Amino acid sequence: MAPSVDTPDPPPPPTLTRTPHTLPAPFTNSSLSVLTQGAEALVYRTTFLTPNTPCVLKYRPPKPYRHPTLDKRLTKARLLAEARVLVRVRKEGIKVPAVLGGDWENGWLVLEWVGGSTVRRVLDGWVESVQRRLADAEGGREQVEQPDLEAQVGGEEEILDLMRRIGRAVGKLHGIGVVHGDLTTSNLMLRPTPKANVAEKTGQLLDGDIVLIDFGLASQTTTQQQDEDRAVDLYVLERAFAATHPSAEPLFQEVLKEYGESYNGAKKVLKRLADVRLRGRKRSMLG
């Protein structure tokens, strides 16, 4: 019998490397920290004009699959639309990042850096604290999988106040005819105020300003579309609560309660929300 010959292992496939986008001036040689990378835009943390001015840089790189003229036109239109909405909303007294600068031709927009935590992280911290307290009450169990937050919410004035602030902020935005378009707990920031109380049971800062961020999909609606678009905004936020904080869903009812009192016409939007929910459930069942 002929001796067996070991077949050598095939060479490993070549490692694919992707050359990062070269940003236009004045950010070509800036120190950048990537925050998010979406299909349309790259978002960085960097500084602007001075080393002590932190900012968010939103850069829309050229899309090779689009005709260059069309690509430039779309990039300019979208950045200008976002900047205009932010300027208008801020002028109305709603807390959003300030527009610090932009270059529509080169595809970038610079926004004020908003310190603090996302509402998503704050809710995570609160749910964890409730789990710990319930575990301690049940004899030192390490974790409670599904805490009864329905029973806990009533005694948590701080978290209820946070939900009311969210409802007021969203209501004020909708009250001036602006729809966010991507209203999730990750696009709501809790920015601490100078008087904020740091000694919270959750380890999170529940006292502070609600700041809405990421207006890349925002729109200023017409009268005919307003109620539907506002209701969809609320539905997206409701689904964000259900998906990322299922045990904290009872808190969302406080958001809606405050929203309903925030501007004339809010109660009509809440009625429309019921129709949007029904359509969403039908889609889920049909796939």
- What pLDDT score was predicted for residue 23? 82
- What pLDDT score was predicted for residue 206? 83
Task: Say whether pLDDT at 145 is over 90.
Answer: no
User: 117-137+151-285, which class in CATH?
Assistant: mainly alpha
- What pLDDT score was predicted for residue 89? 97
- What pLDDT score was predicted for residue 134? 74
For residue range 57-115, list pLDDT tens digits in order: 999 999 989 999 999 999 999 999 999 999 999 999 999 999 999 999 999 999 999 99
Q: What's the CA gap between 273 and 167, in Å, rounded?
A: 14
Closest by CA position to 185, among listed 171, 197, 196, 170: 170
- What pLDDT score was predicted for residue 17? 35
Instruction: Give the distance from CA 85 to its chain's centroid.
Output: 16
pLDDT band for position 116 (cuts 50, 70, 90):
very high
- What pLDDT score was predicted for residue 19? 35
Mean pLDDT of 191-195: 79
For residue range 166-178, list pLDDT tens digits in order: 999 999 999 999 9
Active site residue 182: yes
- Catalytic one among 71, 161, 182, 209? 182
Tokens 């307003």 map to which residue? 226
Side chain identity at residue 23, one-letter code: L
Q: pLDDT over 90 for what percent of the chain?
A: 56
Whole-structure pTM value: 0.82
Phi-psi map region of 265: left, alpha, beta (phi>0 left; psi -120 to 50 alpha) = left
Residue 278: exposure state from Cβ atoms within 10 A (0-12, 13-18, ≥19): exposed
Q: Which residues pair with 102 in a beta bridge?
A: 109
CATH for 33-112, options being 3.30.2080.10, 3.40.50.300, 3.30.70.20, 3.30.200.20 = 3.30.200.20
For residue range 19-58, list pLDDT tens digits in order: 357 788 888 877 889 998 887 899 999 999 888 999 999 9
pLDDT band for position 247 (cuts 50, 70, 90):
confident
Domain ranges, ordered by start, for the chain: 33-112, 117-137+151-285
